[in-house]
Chains A and B, each alone.
Chain A
Amino acid sequence: MASYHGNPHSEPAKMEQIITEFFAKSLHIILESRSPYVSSRNYSGEQVLSSPSPSPSSSSSSSSSFRPRDKWFNLALRDCPAALENIDFWRQSNLEPMIVDVILVQTPLNFSPKRGPARNSSSGKDRHFYGSDTDEFGSEAKSEKIIERWILQYESKKSAGGGSSTSSSSGSSSKRSGNTSSHALYKKSILLLRSLYATIRLLPAYKLFRDLISSAQIRLYNLGHRVSSFVEPFTRREEADMQKFVFTPVETSCGRLCLSVLYRSSVLDLSSEPSTPISPQFIQEYVGSPMAEPLKRFPSGPISQSSPSSSSPFGRRHSWSYDIYRESPSSANPSPSPTYSEAPIHRLPPSSLPRHLHDDTSSVVAHVKNPSYDEYWPSPMFSPSPSPSPPTNVTGVSHMPKAILRYSSMPSLPNKQPRFDQLTVPKEVVAHSGLHHRLFTLSKDEPGNMLGVKPSSNSSLSFQDDSEFSGAFVLDDEDDTTDPGSRQGSFDLACGPHTSFPVKKSQDAAVGALVHMLKKATPLHQEISVVHHMQEDTTATTSSNLALSKTTADAFEELRLYREMKDSLLKQGKKNIPQA
């Protein structure tokens, strides 16, 4: 239809406006009854004086509580902002057809409710708009099916003389239809919209819509919509499953308004397909979960939310270890969620630990040469362990605390050898927490000792007992930046009274103390850098000598020494049991 020139009240202008508003009203009616999230159930009756409507047959200003728009076609509807937003394209050019697809979105049981970006490209004929409700669910593993397609278009008649009434195919009586003025067009548009309003409530999709907006139950389907001016036609097979209802076109002098709908009559079957009850699925990202709050500590107790696939081989878990086991569920969860990527980056996937351990024993051996760490990594000790062990790679030192936590949380391990492993682990932490300097100097003097503890001294066996952990760690916990010399003394103090500690202190308490200490420990990265700096500061010869002197054999020797210390401590502890 040619745009009017000049006079906005001319017949062609009025008709054009009627057609434009018809598009808007139709979209309003459709979306109001098909989109659960764009329809407004709250009537927003603004007190607006009724503006003189250009439509000739509209009612008077008797009802002043409506917006001017709502009065179009004498059908006062509630607000539908989404419809109003999307009609702009057709306001510019009402010759483009408007196709509204109502989409049934079915989600599987393991959907991930993550909002994706709304696609809203407005480029010419390919204007698409996805309702916000379609982005409610993750884009993966969801099926979409078009259950309704509303097609509204204005077919212009390219006739030479536009004023006379053209012959209509409907064959309707022309007595009253000869008046093709805007009045007639408006009246017939009113009738058509009334029919649309009633029909849309009789189609099968309406029940889905009502169920969605009324029921508080969890539904495995959702309704979305897509408004466009160009769509791919249905395949023959798809169209065979659909029924068609064609509204009688409204004839005008320059064309005709056509409205039709293709709809599936069996939408209820589609929506009820995945009606199986939702299997108990563990929600990984519930509010308050470690994944959501990784730094939060949880009370000890059985962790029911853990999925079996991500559980460790351990029989039970400690509360503090929950963070570890929830580190990277994606490695175990068959349905990875994008939100898992938000896990703290300082976490290591548990599966990588043993791999790393077993694969990089050579590197572990190499690291043994490092003066700062080799004493603490009797790596072959770890390899036979069935459970994931802390990584021995020095570069992954930032993960140490967690790995250590993990390792120390192995309740299923027998109290024999692993205890010694647990013994060694905190040593490293102790080292990193500030004794690096001391280590360096001490190891220089006594290559076979750790932390300057004489093997013969019982104090050095403090590491070998859970009870002593707390003592030593409490010491370290106090001040990480104390002078190594004073630390030496304090360490002795810690070692001194260790024998009075009850041997059979609860493992949980020890672990908790360990965690506490580790959390207060300074970051290992800094320690490494400091260590490296210190190495640079000291004479190069000394460091190189130390590096060369430490070999695997030395590590084994130290290990043997510590074992002896441990055994002696245990014997002492057994004697002290009756006294505790």
Chain B
Amino acid sequence: MNCEVCQLKELDIEHFEIREVLRCILHTVLFHRALGLVRPKDIDLELFEITYVQCGDVELERKIDEKIDQFIDRVEKHPNKKNQICLSFYEVKNKQATWFTNKVERLYWEQWYINLNVAQHPKGISGKSYSSKVVVDPGAESRSARRAALETSLRDVLFQIIRFVNEKKDHIPPIPNLEGVSFPYEITISSSSDSAFGMDMLKRMLQTGHPTMLS
């Protein structure tokens, strides 16, 4: 069984845009993977002229907001790093309840990587600037231009998701008889310092089918 991986286009966003951008992307992906009965809910972004769709699942919204909060905390703790959110869908294989381990085997069949470069606030500027994402507060015009560029990029990301969903359909397991989000999923956060290593490890683990060590 192959695991389809989609690396979404990198986005340069500011701190206050994190929540909206992440909500938009995560919900769009999940809407395409919630193949049970859904009541779609249109959500208009406040910062951009984009409307995305939610499943209408309250529990899902709560979980996503939790993860976004975690991401924001991480970004504040680890500035100047490329941050990544991984949304993974897996199948629960046999529950191996043994004496030593009670782990549930997960077989990941799809992963989405959301790559974000969060610009730092002026007061949060540190000496390390190799990532060069410092916001110098350029002015209203450039800010609006940047916002427009980000909106275009975000739209590109959404279309990227749609194309991926269209092109890759065969790897999806049979739809469980559930309502709403039909497949188990998880959302993980990683930073640039350890993301590369983490991704490699993850891929190896997925291919072998061992349970992951991701939080």
- CB–CB B37/A59 < 8 A: yes
Contacts of A170 in B (CB 8 A): 167
Chain A residues numbered 113-144 whose CB sits less than 8 Å from any CB in chain B = none
* CB-based nearest B residue for A199: B162
- CB–CB A75/B172 < 8 A: no
- CB–CB A176/B171 < 8 A: yes
Contacts of B166 in A (CB 8 A): 191-192, 195, 247-248
B40 contacts which of A77, A173, A195, A202 (Cβ < 8 Å)?
A77
Check: B123 CB closer than 8 A to any chain A CB.
no
Min Cβ gap B166→A in Å is 4
Check: B159 CB closer than 8 A to any chain A CB.
yes
- CB–CB A195/B170 < 8 A: no
- CB–CB B162/A198 < 8 A: yes
A508 and B52 CA atoms in complex are apart in Å by: 67
Q: Of the listed stretches B58-66, B69-77, B174-182, B197-205, name the one at the interface; the rest are far from the partner chain.
A: B174-182
Min Cβ gap A33→B in Å is 9
Number of A-B contacts (CB under 8 A): 96
* CB-based nearest B residue for A186: B175
- CB–CB A59/B170 < 8 A: no
A80 and B42 CA atoms in complex are apart in Å by: 16
A207 and B42 CA atoms in complex are apart in Å by: 13
- CB–CB B35/A198 < 8 A: no
Contacts of A197 in B (CB 8 A): 31, 40, 53
How many B residues have CB within 8 A of the partner chain? 33
- CB–CB A198/B171 < 8 A: no
A191-B170 contact, Cβ under 8 Å, with A173-B2, A202-B158: no
* CB-based nearest A residue for B35: A190
Check: A60 CB closer than 8 A to any chain B CB.
yes
Check: B49 CB closer than 8 A to any chain A CB.
yes
Check: B155 CB closer than 8 A to any chain A CB.
yes
* CB-based nearest A residue for B155: A202
A248 and B164 CA atoms in complex are apart in Å by: 10
- CB–CB A173/B171 < 8 A: yes
Min Cβ gap B48→A in Å is 11
Chain A residues numbered 156-210 whose CB sits less than 8 Å from any CB in chain B = 170, 172-177, 183, 187-188, 190-192, 194-195, 197-199, 201-202, 206-207, 210
Check: A110 CB closer than 8 A to any chain B CB.
no
A194-B165 contact, Cβ under 8 Å, with A77-B40, A176-B171: yes
**In the complex, per-residue mask of A190-234: 1 if CB is within 8 Å of any chain B CB, else 0:** 111011011101100011001000000000000000000000000
- CB–CB B158/A195 < 8 A: no
- CB–CB B177/A59 < 8 A: yes
Contacts of A173 in B (CB 8 A): 2, 170-171
Check: A525 CB closer than 8 A to any chain B CB.
no
Chain A residues numbered 35-81 whose CB sits less than 8 Å from any CB in chain B = 57-60, 62-63, 71, 74-77
Chain B residues numbered 30-67 whose CB sits less than 8 Å from any CB in chain A = 31-32, 35-40, 42, 49-53
B38 contacts which of A75, A201, A248 (Cβ < 8 Å)?
A75
B165 contacts which of A63, A77, A195, A207 (Cβ < 8 Å)?
A195
- CB–CB B37/A71 < 8 A: yes
A172 and B168 CA atoms in complex are apart in Å by: 8
Min Cβ gap B51→A in Å is 4
State the B residues within 8 Å of A (CB): 2, 28, 31-32, 35-40, 42, 49-53, 155, 158-159, 162, 165-172, 174-175, 177-179
Given contact pairs A57-B177, A75-B38, A199-B159, enumerate 12 new A-B contacts (beta carbons under 8 Å).
Answer: A75-B40, A172-B167, A172-B169, A173-B170, A191-B35, A191-B166, A191-B172, A194-B165, A195-B166, A201-B53, A202-B155, A202-B159
Q: Can you identify 8 A-B contacts, CB atoms within 8 angstroms?
A: A71-B37, A176-B172, A187-B172, A190-B175, A195-B165, A198-B52, A201-B52, A202-B158
State the A residues within 8 Å of B (CB): 57-60, 62-63, 71, 74-77, 170, 172-177, 183, 187-188, 190-192, 194-195, 197-199, 201-202, 206-207, 210, 247-248
